[in-house]
Structures are given as C-alpha cells and as structure tokens.
Structure 1
Amino acid sequence: MTSNDITPEPASHRISLPRLHNQPDGSVLATAHCTIVAVDIVGFGHRSRTDANRVRIRRGFYQATQHAFDAAGVPWESCRREDLGDGIVVIAPANIPKTSFVDLLPGTMLTALLQHNRTHPPTERIRLRLALHAGEVNYDEHGFTGTSIMHAFRLLDSAAVRTASAEKHALLAVIGSSWFFDEVIRHSEHSDAHDYAPADVISKETRTRAWIRVLFERSRSRRRVDSPERISPRQLYALLEHHADDGARYDSSVGLAKLAAWMAEDADQTDIPRPATDEVRALRTSWSNPTS
C-alpha cells in the first residue's frame, strides 16, 4: 500500500487530528477516535471469475458502497479510505453519529447490492461481509493503523461471519464488535438489534464476543421482539446469551441446546418443536423488566 492508494479529500472534509511531537524518534503521532468499517467481497478470488469480472465487480462495489454511505447520512468524502483489493476499510470521523452505521447503512447497502446484482451475470454479482468497530486510529504519511483497525479486520476474517455470509441468499453479513453492540446497536430503536446473534470470535491474537446480522437477497420477515408469538429463536438465543449472568431470571424448560439448534431454521423447516408460547412470553417479560 502506498500513499498514492489513499483517496485524497478536500481540506473541508479532513478528519481533525491532534498532533503529538513526543515520540522518542522524533516522529509525529496523530490520533483520533473514529468509526471503523471494514468490508470484504465474498468469493472475490473464486476461480469462476475472470480478471475482467473482478474489474467490473470492483467498479460496482465502489459505486454501491459510496451510494450506500451517502444515502445513510455518512458522507463518503468525509471519510478516509484505503483499498484492499477485494474490499475497503473506511474511517469515519467522530462527528458522524454512530447510529447511522447501524440504523441506515445495512439497509442502504442491501438496496445498492440488489440494484447492482439485477443488472450483472452471476460471476459479477456481489455479496459482502462488513465489520463495525470504533476506537483510536493513528495516522502517518502512509495511511493509518491502530489496534482498533486490527480488531476490525479480525472480526471481518472470522469463521463466524464467514459462515454467516455463506447462508443461502445472504447478501450482506454485518459483524459488530462487542463494544459497538453494547454502546450503539442495542441502544438504538432503529438498528434491528434483535436480528443480531452472538458469536465467539477466535482469530490470531483475538478472542472476543461479536454480534452478527445477516441481510438476505430474498425478503425475510424481520421478526422483532414485539410479540411473544413472533419472537425468532435467533432473537431469543441472543437475549439469553447476552444476559447469561442473569440466568436466575430465565427459569424455563426451554433449553439453550434446543434454542441453538432451532435458531438456524424457520419453524416450518425443522422437526425440533417450537418453544411453547407461554414459555416465550415468560422469557420476554423477564427480559423486558430487569428489575422484576
């Protein structure tokens, strides 16, 4: 990666960075807290694709991503970017609300992918993995680095999100860091937080909990926790796992093993019996009233 690979930005859109001249070797350390979005094209190097296919995929990927960011209220020209060949890392300044990345960006990205895929053959259609994290980013004359960026890449490269992106008709698999879920996703009323399922990530030096949401090519109902009869097993499993320390509140015959097996399938696609409505209602009531 060279400095020529970094997209130049108008001065009015540059991220404001503190400049610290206290490094022992005299180098300058510029650091800022930013939102980090790392994106990877699924199957970019598959042998069914030619170089011509990949060029058109990259062109469509950049058009779709820029459109999705702008439509989500994250101005493309306000962000720093570095090309990864089969993806991109985007660094957004702290003044852009983090809720935009979970309330709007998954939907605008899905729409942009659908528009691209409608007009391209199978070898040029795009599916994506997208990692969300936030933290300190260090800048130098070559680009940027930092522990937070490495963490985002570990999430993006994890077996958990790769497995999720391989689901039938999956177009976009979003993996949020534990920090991003706890501080942003679960607090937003428009993030579809209950569509995220917990996942253990083990990748190189990283061992952490992350949260994954999959958006599909074919419309599937996003069953929210607004009715105990409509709660999905994925949602219920996520709630139980997330509140594992409060296990006493979930005194029910619905076992995690059954839920874990059941959550991967819709009710009409499995022989595992659906949890009884009264059990689900009791679990939801307990979760909704933490002081009870």
Structure 2
Amino acid sequence: MSGNPVHRSILAVDLENSTGVLRTNPIKEELRSQIYGQVKRAMASAGIDERWCDPFEDRGDGVLALFHPVDELPKTRLLSRLVPTLARQLADYNESISTAERPSRCMRLRAVVHAGEIHRDENGPFGEAIDLACRLLDAPRLKKCLRATSSPLVLAVSEDIYWGIVKHGYDGICPAAYRPDLRVSVASRRRQGFVHIPQEAPKTHEDRTMAVA
C-alpha cells in the first residue's frame, strides 16, 4: 500500500444501549443485520450508488461507511437526503415493533458525518479523520442528546462539515438546526462538533403507496 492518503466522506452510526440486559446475542445479530440493511436502504433512497462506497467497516454495534469524492455524490446529499431518510426508516421500523418487544428490539442511532484523508492497510482504514469521527460519535454529550429526545437518530457533524457545508444552507440544509454542543480532543487539538436532530419528514403519497403494497 502507498503511504499516501485518499479522501473520503465519512458516515458512522452506532446503536444506543447495545449492551443492555435485554439485548441477547440473537437479538444483537438481528439488530446488526437491521443496521446494515437500513443504511443500505437509505443510500439507495438518497441515490447513492454502492460503487461510490468502500465496503462497510464493522463497528460491532454500528457501521463505518466511507464514500468516494465523486461529483455525483456531494457531501450535501449525506445531510439533506441520506440522514433524514435513515431517521424516517428507523421511526417506521420502531413503530412496527410490538410494545412488548420494543425494549429489546427498538433501534436508536447516533450518527456522525465528517470528511478527510484516510489511510488503509490489510486491517482496514485508519487516520486522524476517522479518529475524529469516532470521538464525535462516542462523545458522552451526543449520547446524552439521544437520551433526551424521542427522535430515533441524532447526528453530529465535524466543524469542517459545518463551516464548509451546513453554514451555507445548501440543498435545504438549515444551519440554525445545528448546535455547537460537542468538544472532543484528537491529536492534542480541541475539536468542535455540531449536533442536529432530524425531524421526521412527512410521508409522500409514493411512500404511503409503497407501505400499503
């Protein structure tokens, strides 16, 4: 492998309460499958071709997805389409679960979007950009934000994504909906993260028709 880095947009998601007492190993297996499936469905709905994404990296109770910097996949699409779609899918999935099964099978995710230079060896991707994404994803304050909301998903974006994408309001993104609530330290630098709680988008006529079918 060359020592030179390659640029990727980074999406990582992590399941809330994955080690809860009711999460038996068979249920964990089921939820792992659901996470992979939900992310792939959201990608397809957002028009993100799997050819533009490296093979998913497993995080045990989550997924790391690395997207290629192709013109057909601007970073705005991750924020304006993929993440809201994923939040809506999770809401639909949770509503489909019986009340008795919700404590063990309900899915609520923390997500992060970042971008930067990464390296890869035979064991997988690595580098400061991935370190930052993982620190934001695992930040105690982000976990607290998820516990405090009824939304099935909370999103953190790096300061690079906020100032380069969110601030400018591209593609209907609302800067005021992102709060500078996170601080993490990576490579002896204090880094800021912005938290967003996606609102569930109203279902279109096409969505309702597909649900009935």
Residues 143 and 78 of structure 1: CA distance in aligned 2, closer, same or farther (over 3 Å): same
Contact 2:141/2:182 (CA < 8 Å) preserved in 1?
Answer: yes
Q: Deviations over 1:80-106 (max 9, x none)?
A: 220111001111001121110111112
Contact 2:136/2:182 (CA < 8 Å) preserved in 1?
Answer: no
Contact 2:35/2:63 (CA < 8 Å) preserved in 1?
Answer: no
Residue type of the alignment partner of 1:117:
N
1:147 aligns with 2:128: yes
What's 1:165 paired with?
A: 146
- Match of 1:170, SS state, is coil
Aligned-residue Cα RMSD (Å) equals 2.0
Distance 1:54 1:75 in 2: 28
1:110 aligns with 2:98: no
Contact 1:169/1:218 (CA < 8 Å) preserved in 2?
Answer: no
- Match of 1:29, SS state, is coil
What's 2:175 paired with?
A: 193
The match for 2:40 among 31, 54, 66 is 66
What's 2:197 paired with?
A: 214
The match for 2:7 among 2, 19, 33 is 33
What's 2:211 paired with?
A: none
Residue type of the alignment partner of 1:136:
E
Contact 2:12/2:63 (CA < 8 Å) preserved in 1?
Answer: yes
Contact 2:142/2:182 (CA < 8 Å) preserved in 1?
Answer: no
The match for 1:156 among 137, 141, 148 is 137
Q: 5 Å matches for 1:140-289? A: 140-187=121-168, 188-203=170-185, 205=188, 207-215=190-198
- Match of 2:196, SS state, is strand
Contact 1:159/1:201 (CA < 8 Å) preserved in 2?
Answer: no
Percent identical among aligned pairs is 26
What's 2:96 paired with?
A: 119
Contact 2:84/2:200 (CA < 8 Å) preserved in 1?
Answer: no
* Gaps in structure 1 of 5+ consecutive residues: 1-26, 220-292
Contact 1:171/1:217 (CA < 8 Å) preserved in 2?
Answer: no
Distance 2:17 2:127 in 1: 27
1:144 positional shift? 1.2
Distance 1:133 1:73 in 2: 19
Residue type of the alignment partner of 2:66:
I
What's 1:51 paired with?
A: 25
Contact 2:159/2:194 (CA < 8 Å) preserved in 1?
Answer: yes
State the TM-score, normalized to the length of structure 2: 0.83
What's 1:138 paired with?
A: 119
- Match of 2:152, SS state, is strand
Distance 1:177 1:168 in 2: 21
Distance 1:170 1:126 in 2: 11
* Gaps in structure 2 of 5+ consecutive residues: 203-213
What's 1:84 paired with?
A: 59
Q: Deviations over 1:124-143 (max 9, x none)?
A: 11100001111001122322
Contact 2:117/2:127 (CA < 8 Å) preserved in 1?
Answer: yes
1:78 positional shift? 2.4
1:28 positional shift? 2.8
What's 2:207 paired with?
A: none
1:111 positional shift? 1.8
Distance 2:27 2:147 in 1: 21
Aligned residues: 193
Q: 5 Å matches for 1:10-29? A: 28-29=2-3
Contact 1:38/1:131 (CA < 8 Å) preserved in 2?
Answer: yes
Higher relative contact order (CA 8 A, sep 6+): 2
State the TM-score, normalized to the length of structure 1: 0.62
